[in-house]
Amino acid sequence: MLKKLFCGVLAGVIAFSSFSMLGNTSAKAASNLPPSPVVQKEKSETTYSPSSLSAQSSIESEVQPYGAKGFMVKLAIQTIKVAIDKGGSVLNYIIKWFDKDTASYFTKNKSKVIKALNQLEDWIDDASDLTQSTIKTKLNSLLRSAGVPSTYSLSIADAIARTITWLIL
């Protein structure tokens, strides 16, 4: 059920992003401007006081992360966190990459993995490169800082990075 919901949301995001980017690609190529990693919106509010009739305006800025890939990676991380807690086919996909010792360590220390995944999810906003190898390297360092021994952290990071790619594609 969760996988079907995720696949439906993912298909919608991919369809929306591909249709919305059709016109933007030719405009960016013609202008030769570097792509900006942050989209900034400005909201303007004007208030009038009845006694003085002077306008006071305030501008509020809202910064949002750029890119559908970051959004999809965050959804994949959230799906993995739920799967680690509840089980299911996503957890089976992760565990199939482990040897017996790593699988045993993983099941006994889920809280450390969840902690590292929370930090990885926060890191996604600032990341400029979201390839599988980059996610694996960052998650490996986060797992080690969460207290996972290096003998297990690399294989756990590799399995989770593969699962993120599997969920996105």
DSSP one-letter string for 134-162: HHHHHHHHHHHHTT--HHHHHHHHHHHHH
> DSSP code of 39?
E
Q: What is the pLDDT along the chain (169 residues), one digit of tens a residue?
A: 667 777 667 666 676 666 555 555 444 454 454 554 554 455 555 555 555 454 454 444 444 444 788 889 999 999 999 999 998 999 999 999 999 999 999 999 999 999 999 999 989 888 888 889 999 999 999 999 999 999 999 999 999 999 999 998 8
CB atoms near residue 12 (< 10 Å): 10
pTM for the model: 0.60
Q: What is the 3-state secondary structure (H, E, C) of 102-128?
A: HHHHHHHCHHHHHHHHHHHHHHHHHCC
Residue among 70, 82, 15 nearest 38 (CA)? 70
